[in-house]
């Protein structure tokens, strides 16, 4: 699973961070953290303080976000890069590539300690996982959002953003891949998923749990994720302008094969099945015969997919314990490298 | 890596044919030249080593004079282990008390509750020997589930070892219907035989989940999914196809620990005495006074909420001050179980050590061990931050 011995990876991560830390210590200044804003509830305004849903009464600019949080001045020097100001449902390959390239450019600078990304929570886990696979740096990258808009009573955004910047400025956060922070809890992008429509504790890593906590006294880490990510990832998006089309099909009793057939007809390169149905069998065979890669995920939300030898022999790929939306992200990147089933399965085993 | 992937496959293929085979008879169909990992299976007893009188007896087994499962029985009953490892057994169970006199009731209580510091010392010393033994690749330790998290944590702190050490038990006796013991044991052996399990500290594997000794605790009296790392999670899984790790623990353990069984006081009875006190509405301070008078060296108060002892003139806070005045170290845990006890200015002023997110029973063990080195609050705080 891990190509490099963990000690070597850690040493590398430390070295990367140390370079940034030393250069900011030389100026006697706080670490520089780049704030990439993409939008989301954390940058949304409601008509009044009681509006906890259906808030679309204006956007919060990056400057408003920072002016709202003078406490950040004690933690880091923030520099803003605005990517977009949209809800997370509108996130797309163009923006993902723009974001990842932007982060790579900034983190390559010795004076930058880490990055924070604001994002809507709906598809936050997808963007975080995409960055986990494409950021070429061991410096901390923390994706943050909010469950309550900027204008709401007891909004969670400010403390989430404050803690995200603290984590991005913490040496111990280096080499842990991209992280997600809401509700004081530090999650690995690889494991985390949104688990509730409105509660502030919505982000969980079902069986694997968080990596640590951003408590008032300290950032306390308990786990380091294994598997390949960021600095040890083989994916390179520096020359990519688009990503292969991959879509997701849900399985249930008597599920119609029509969506699979329609996707094949539309020319997708890959299909992720969230669970399956016996009625899919013919359509899957058709898809595979046309060179469409089919990955098997599961709708239960935790646990690995174990394929029978027969299924694996037919070229079906196990998504390990990735949910459908994350398996899709990995497959899009994997298809930029290979369409060979064995190699794709290796990738799903390692990331 | 190659070996760990090959073995489960072979094991799956041969599962049926081997079910009737004899213990440790290695079938000729294993690939020639394949060297099985050598695993020491060390019994500290437990439900996994207990027999009930019927298959449905899953609550009232064990006790003085009751039949037990000897380590050799496991090997005979679970021939599947022969496909994944070469097993050597060692028996570290406490001597069994004689059966009760006719007409008297047998004492109740699980075997694990009776684990003593003498036994922990014996096992820790043996593990330290096995760490240096070139003929052993990994170790599985069985234990009763009630206090196995404490025992695993003790080993995690005082045994300097890189090879896998995996604690295992079961919720149903070896004879129980749909008993979890056999699969737990097979999986623990598989984890101990997995190179990736090395260097991750003492591990716990039951119910197909791998948890670190530091974080794991028992959460349910009888269910088989009882062990959990509470607000953290599992670090890996033992699935039929492969043992897979997703994370590794960050805190200091085993070969990174500053403590070792060899440098603890030779007599476990002279380990600094530390006891635990629970906090609740109107919890009285005199229980703490009683421990102070008894001469303990440390007290863990399992505080309410974020780790608060009770206040008021008769409460715990005043009694803590009296204890501290006599040089007793006081640490607080949070009875919420999830979440850390934080370092706050007020707590720092009070001289009370925050025990991070450890359970009181684990905080007790760490404090016992830490007090063999220092009584300095700053240094103790560092230890609780790092382990």
Model pLDDT, residue B97: 77
Radius of gyration, CA atoms only, chain B: 22
Distance CA A298, CA A284 (A): 16
Q: Which residue has the higher pLDDT, B7 or B338?
A: B338
Residues in CB range of A151: below 8 A, 6 or more apart: A45, A46, A48, A49, A51, A55, A57
pLDDT at B42 over 90: yes
Closest CA to A290 of A255, A324, A339: A339
Per-residue pLDDT at B232: 96
The answer to whether A14 faces chain B, any CB pair under 8 Å, is no
pLDDT of residue B94: 87
pLDDT surpasses 90 at B96: no
Say whether pLDDT at B2 is over 90. Answer: no
Q: What is the ipTM of this complex?
A: 0.85
pLDDT for the residue numbered B25: 52
pLDDT at B30: 63
- State the Cα–Cα distance between residues B379 and B385, nearest whole angstrom: 10
Q: Is B47 a catalytic residue?
A: yes
pLDDT in tens, B223-247: 999 999 999 999 999 999 999 999 9
**A85 shares contact with chain B (CB less than 8 Å):** no
State the residue for tokens 């954390």: A42
Which of B246, B249, B385 is nearest residue A191 as measured by Cβ atoms?
B246
Judge contact between A260 and A284, C-beta under 8 A: yes
Closest CA to B213 of B127, B275, B285, B135: B127
Query: Taking the mean position of all CA atoms in its chain, how far away is CA A34?
Result: 17
Interface list for B 220-239 with A (CB within 8 A): 229, 231-235, 237, 239
Mutation to test the A interface, candidates B9, B232, B346, most A Cβ within 10 Å: B232
- Is A218's Cβ below 8 Å from some Cβ in B? yes
Quick check: A1 pLDDT over 70? no
B362: pLDDT strictly greater than 90? yes
Percent share of chain A, pLDDT over 70: 92
- With bands split at pLDDT 50, 70 and 90, how would you rate the model's confidence at B21? very low
Q: What is the tens place of the pLDDT at every residue in A235-245?
A: 999 999 999 99
With H, G, I as helix, E, B as strand and everything else as coil, classify residue B99.
Answer: coil
Residues A324, A313: contact at Cβ < 8 Å?
A: no
* Cα distances (angstroms) measured from residue A40 to each of A55, A81, B37: 11, 15, 52
Dihedral over alpha carbons B168, B181, A307, A1 (to 10 degrees) = 10
- Please determine, for residue B331, whether its predicted confidence score (pLDDT) is greater than 80: yes
Residues in chain B closer than 8 A to A225 (CB atoms): 246-247
Q: How confident is the model at residue B16 (pLDDT cuts 50, 70, 90)?
A: very low
What are the distances in angstroms from CA A90 to CA A147, A170, A330? Answer: 17, 31, 19
Quick one: average pLDDT of A140-152?
A: 98
Rounded Cα distance, B314 and B310, in Å: 9
Q: Do A223 and B342 touch (CB under 8 A)?
A: no
Catalytic residue among A32, A38, A41, A121: A41
Percent of chain B with pLDDT over 90: 83
Look at B340 and A215 and tell me if their CB atoms are within 8 Å. yes
The pLDDT assigned to B29 comes to: 59
Q: Is B19 a residue whose pLDDT tops 50?
A: no
pLDDT band at B20 (very low <50, low <70, confident <90, very high): very low
Residue B99: per-residue pLDDT: 78
Of B25 and A226, the structure prediction assigns the larger pLDDT to: A226
Instruction: Render pLDDT for B270-306 as a digit per residue (tens, 0 to 9).
Output: 999 999 999 999 999 999 999 999 999 999 999 999 9
Contact: B247, A223; criterion CB under 8 Å: yes
> Average pLDDT of A105-122?
98
Distance of residue B277 Cα from the nearest chain A Cα, in angstroms: 25
| B112-121 average pLDDT score | 88
What local confidence, expressed as pLDDT, does residue B62 receive? 85
pLDDT in tens, B122-161: 999 999 999 999 999 999 999 999 999 999 999 999 999 9
Comparing A24 with B260, the larger pLDDT belongs to B260
* Residue A343, token pair as written in the block: 């190699």
Residues of B in contact with A306 (CB under 8 A): 239-241
List the beta bridge partners of residue B91. B43
Q: Is B314 on the interface with A (CB under 8 A)?
A: no
Whether residue A8 lies within 8 A of chain B, CB to CB, comes out as no
Name chain A contacts of B209, Cβ cutoff 8 Å.
Answer: 207
| C-alpha span between B311 and B279 (Å, rounded) | 10
Residue B247, min C-alpha distance to chain A (Å): 4
pLDDT confidence bin for B98, thresholds 50/70/90: confident
Rounded Cα distance, B201 and B249, in Å:
8
Residues from chain B that touch A208, judged by Cβ atoms under 8 A, are: 233-235, 246-247
CA–CA gap between residue B188 and residue B81 (Å, rounded): 10
pLDDT of residue A20: 52
Mean pLDDT of the residues in chain B: 91
A16-74 confidence digits (pLDDT tens): 555 554 444 445 689 999 999 999 999 999 999 999 999 989 999 999 999 999 999 99
Q: Rounded to whole angstroms, how far apart are CA atoms A295 and A291?
A: 13
Which residues in chain B touch residue A191, judged by CB atoms under 8 angstroms apart?
Answer: 233, 246
Q: Residue B95: is its pLDDT beyond 90?
A: no
Contact B246 A211 (CB under 8 A): no
The helix/strand/coil state of A83 is strand
**Average pLDDT for B324-333:** 98
Query: Per-residue pLDDT for A8 more than 70?
Result: no
Across the A:B interface, residue pairs with CB atoms under 8 Å apart total: 77
**Cα(B135)–Cα(B139) distance, integer angstroms:** 11
Is residue A171 less than 8 Å (CB to CB) from chain B?
no
How confident is the model at residue B102, as a pLDDT? 76
The token pair that represents B229 in the structure block: 């790392």
User: A351 — contact with chain B (CB < 8 Å)?
Assistant: no
**CB contact at 8 A, A143 and A178:** yes
User: Which tokens in the block code for residue B338?
Assistant: 């999830």
Tell me the average pLDDT across A154-159: 98
pLDDT value of position B3: 44
pLDDT above 80: residue B201: yes
Spatial distance between the Cα atoms of B59 and B47, rounded to a whole number of angstroms:
10
| Cβ contact, residue pair B250, A213, below 8 Å | no
Is A285 within 8 Å of chain B by CB?
A: no
Of B232, B240, B344, the CB nearest to A306: B240
Tell me whether residues A210 and B247 touch, CB distance under 8 A.
no
* B 39-78 near A (Cβ less than 8 A): none
State how far residue B123 is from chain A, nearest Cα, in angstroms: 27
Chain A residues closer than 8 Å to B156 by CB? none
What's the pLDDT band for A10 if we cut at 50, 70, 90?
A: low
pLDDT grade, residue B11 (50/70/90)?
Answer: very low
Q: Which residue has the tokens 């450890």?
A: B358
Asked whether the beta carbons of residue B209 and residue A207 sit closer than 8 angstroms, the reply is yes
| Residue B381 contacts residue B343 (beta carbons within 8 Å) | yes
- Which pLDDT value is given to residue B22? 40
For the segment B81-90, the average pLDDT, to the nearest whole number, is 97
Residue A13 pLDDT exceeds 90: no
Partner residue opposite A217 with nearest CB, options B240, B249, B342? B342
Contact criterion met (CB below 8 Å) for A51 and A151:
yes
User: pLDDT tens, A288-336?
Assistant: 999 999 999 999 999 999 999 998 999 999 999 999 999 999 999 999 9
Please state the φ and ψ torsions of residue A14, each to the nearest 5 degrees. -65, -40
């Amino acid at each position: 699973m891990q190509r490099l011995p963990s000690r070597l990876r850690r040493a590398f991560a430390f070295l990367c961070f140390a370079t940034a830390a030393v250069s900011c210590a030389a100026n006697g200044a706080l670490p520089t953290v780049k704030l990439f804003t993409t939008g989301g509830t954390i940058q949304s305004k409601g008509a009044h303080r009681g509006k906890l849903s259906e808030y679309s009464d204006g956007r919060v600019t990056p400057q408003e976000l920072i002016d709202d949080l003078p406490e950040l001045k004690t933690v880091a020097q923030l520099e803003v890069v605005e990517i977009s100001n949209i809800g997370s449902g509108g996130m797309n390959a163009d923006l993902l590539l723009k974001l990842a390239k932007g982060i790579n450019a900034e983190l390559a600078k010795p004076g930058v300690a880490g990055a924070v990304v604001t994002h809507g929570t709906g598809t936050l886990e997808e963007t975080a996982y995409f960055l986990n696979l494409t950021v070429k740096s061991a410096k901390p990258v923390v994706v943050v959002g909010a469950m309550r808009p900027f204008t709401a009573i007891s909004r969670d955004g400010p403390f989430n953003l404050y803690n995200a910047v603290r984590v991005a400025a913490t040496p111990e956060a280096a080499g842990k891949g991209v992280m997600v922070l809401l509700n004081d809890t530090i999650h690995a992008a690889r494991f985390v998923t949104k688990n509730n429509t409105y509660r502030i504790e919505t982000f969980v890593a079902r069986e694997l749990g968080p990596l640590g906590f951003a408590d008032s006294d300290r950032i306390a880490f308990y786990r380091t994720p294994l598997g390949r990510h960021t600095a040890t990832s083989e994916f390179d998006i520096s020359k990519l302008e688009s990503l292969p089309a991959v879509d997701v099909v849900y399985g249930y009793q008597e599920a119609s094969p029509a969506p699979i057939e329609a996707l094949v007809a539309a020319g997708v390169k890959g299909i992720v099945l969230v669970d399956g149905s016996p009625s899919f069998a013919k359509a899957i065979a058709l898809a595979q015969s046309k060179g469409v890669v089919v990955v098997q995920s599961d709708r239960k939300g935790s646990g690995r997919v174990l394929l029978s030898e027969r299924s694996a022999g037919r070229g079906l790929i196990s998504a390990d314990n990735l949910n459908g939306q994350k398996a899709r992200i990995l497959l899009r990147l994997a298809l930029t490298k290979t369409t060979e089933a064995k190699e794709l399965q290796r990738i799903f085993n390692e990331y | 890596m190659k070996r760990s992937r090959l073995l489960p496959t072979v094991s799956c293929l041969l599962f049926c044919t081997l079910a009737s085979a004899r213990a440790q008879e290695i079938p000729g169909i294993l690939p020639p030249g394949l060297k099985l990992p050598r695993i020491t299976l060390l019994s500290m007893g437990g439900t996994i080593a207990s027999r009930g009188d019927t298959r449905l007896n899953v609550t009232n087994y064990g006790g003085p004079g009751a039949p037990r499962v000897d380590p050799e029985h496991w090997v005979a009953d679970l021939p599947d282990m022969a496909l994944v490892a070469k097993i050597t057994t060692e028996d570290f169970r406490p001597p069994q008390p004689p059966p009760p006199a006719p007409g008297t009731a047998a004492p109740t209580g699980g075997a694990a509750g009776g684990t003593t510091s003498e036994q922990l010392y014996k096992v820790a010393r043996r593990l330290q020997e096995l760490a240096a033994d070139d003929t052993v690749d990994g170790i599985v330790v069985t234990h009763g589930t009630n206090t196995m998290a404490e025992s695993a944590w003790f080993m995690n702190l005082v045994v300097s070892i890189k090879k896998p050490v995996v604690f295992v038990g079961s919720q149903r006796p070896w004879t129980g219907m749909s008993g979890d013991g056999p699969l737990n044991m097979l999986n623990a052996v598989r984890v101990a035989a997995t190179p990736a399990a090395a260097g991750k500290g003492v591990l716990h594997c039951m119910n197909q989940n791998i948890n670190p000794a530091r974080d794991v605790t028992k959460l349910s009296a009888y269910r088989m999914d009882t062990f959990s790392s509470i607000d953290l999670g599992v670090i890996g899984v033992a699935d039929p196809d492969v043992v897979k790790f997703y994370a590794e623990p960050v805190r200091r353990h085993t070969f990174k620990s500053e403590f070792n069984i060899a440098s603890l006081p030779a007599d476990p009875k002279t380990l600094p005495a530390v006891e635990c006190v629970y906090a609740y509405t109107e919890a009285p301070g005199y229980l703490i006074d009683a421990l102070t008078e008894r001469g303990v060296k440390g007290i863990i108060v399992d505080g309410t909420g974020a780790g608060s002892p009770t206040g008021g003139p008769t409460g715990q806070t005043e009694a803590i001050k009296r204890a501290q005045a006599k040089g007793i170290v006081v640490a607080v845990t949070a009875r919420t179980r999830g979440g850390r006890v934080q370092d706050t200015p007020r707590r720092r002023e009070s001289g009370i050590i925050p025990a991070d997110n450890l359970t009181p029973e684990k905080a007790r063990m760490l404090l016992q061990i830490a007090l063999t080195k220092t009584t300095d609050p700053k240094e103790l705080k560092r230890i609780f931050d790092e382990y």
